[in-house]
Amino acid sequence: MAKGKGGKPAPAAAKQRKKHGPKKKMFHCWSSTIRKALADAGLLSKYYNYEAWQQACQAKGKRNTTYNDFNEFVKLSREEKEKYFENLGK
C-alpha cells in the first residue's frame, strides 16, 4: 500500500455565509427609470408604498401584516404615522 506524505492537510475554503436576512428585490415590477422617478417623488417611502411599509414593520418586529393594516395606516396623519412606528417596536 502506498502511503501519502505526512504533510499538512489542504486548507478548507473560507466559509461564506450571510450576515443578515434574505435580500428582497423591491419594486422590480417597474423598470429602473420608473423606479427612479417614483423615488424622486417620494412615493417609494414607507409612508406611501405597501411593500416598503411591510418591510419597515418587519424590521420593527411585526411579522403578520395585511393590506387592511396598511390602508388604516395610510389614513393617519404624519405625526400619527411616526408614533405608529415608535410604538411598533415596543
Model confidence pLDDT, tens digit, residues 76-88: 999 999 999 999 8
Domain annotation covers residue 8: no
Model confidence pLDDT, tens digit, residues 21-62: 667 778 888 899 998 999 899 888 889 989 899 989 988 888
Q: Which domain holds residue 79?
A: 45-88
Domain annotation covers residue 16: no
pLDDT value of residue 12 = 62
Domain annotation covers residue 30: no
In the chain, the DSSP E strands lie at none
pLDDT value of residue 7 = 65
Say what the pTM is: 0.63
Domain annotation covers residue 28: no
In the chain, how many domains are there? 1
Domain annotation covers residue 70: yes
24: three-class secondary structure by DSSP: coil
- In sequence order, what DSSP letters do the residues of 30-50 get, joined into one string? S-HHHHHHHHHHTTTSTTT-H
Q: What are phi and psi of 13, to 5 degrees?
A: -65, 145
| 31 CA to centre of own chain | 19
Question: Grid coordinates standing for 73?
Answer: 395606516
Domain annotation covers residue 39: no
pLDDT value of residue 89 = 73
